[in-house]
Amino acid sequence: MIWHNGLPDLAQLTALGADSMPGFLGIEFVAVGDDWIRARMPVNDRTKQPYGRLHGGASVVLAETLGSIAGAMTVDPAQFGAVGLEINANHVRPAGDGFVYATARPEARGRTTQVWSIRIEDEAGKLVCISRFTLAVIARDRGAVAA
């Protein structure tokens, strides 16, 4: 298992973002396994672009939210923080309603950087977006990450 303190509490992770961007967009953490974590986001007026399709920026917010939380859950929070360094996204297929589901899996978890792949699918399991997210792992004693 990759998680620092055992399987993360999904309700607690959802509540963590309640008063910020993840909460505004309706992102919820829904499942976790030994080396992956999943969240969902509604495709609705908050997450669509003017043409009625899921906004690519909303997909990136979902990917970065999931990757950031995943990275943070694999390090000792008393000693380290994990912060976004770079993200990319390929938007493969539109989504128009329902939910999209994102699953994050680590590609590399090093001492100073982590790389995560985040696959976003529609309710039928069709690929909507694929993202790669790089995090910097920073020691808290360096003052770079708030507790």
Catalytic residues: 64
Residue 97 has φ and ψ, to the nearest 5°, of -165, 180
Nearest to 33 by CA among 61, 67, 62, 10: 10
H runs (alpha helix) in 73-118? none
H runs (alpha helix) in the chain? 10-16, 21-25, 56-72
End-to-end Cα spacing for the chain: 24
Residue 11 has φ and ψ, to the nearest 5°, of -65, -40
Residue 77 has φ and ψ, to the nearest 5°, of -65, -20
